[in-house]
Amino acid sequence: MLCELAQLPVPVVLPLHPRTQHQIVLHGLEKLADRLRLTGPLNYPALQP
C-alpha cells in the first residue's frame, strides 16, 4: 500500500497510529514514507466536513 501511495502524483496525507509508524521504521520502509505526509491519528470531529 505504501508503494502505491508513494507513486501518486499528488501529495498524500496519511494519518497513522503510532504503532503503525513504528512498524514502518522497524521494517525499513522510511524511504517510501518520506514521500508521504504522515501524521498522527485524527479524532472523529476532525474528519467531519
Residue 46 pLDDT: 67
Predicted TM-score (pTM) of this structure: 0.72
User: Domain boundaries in the chain?
Assistant: 2-40
Three state DSSP letters for the chain: CHHHHHCCCCCCEEECCHHHHHHHHHCCCHHHHHCCEEECCCCHHHHCC
Residue 44 pLDDT: 78
Residue 26 pLDDT: 96
Averaged in consecutive runs of 10 residues, what is the pLDDT profile of the chain (49 residues)? 92 93 94 91 77
Residue 14 pLDDT: 92
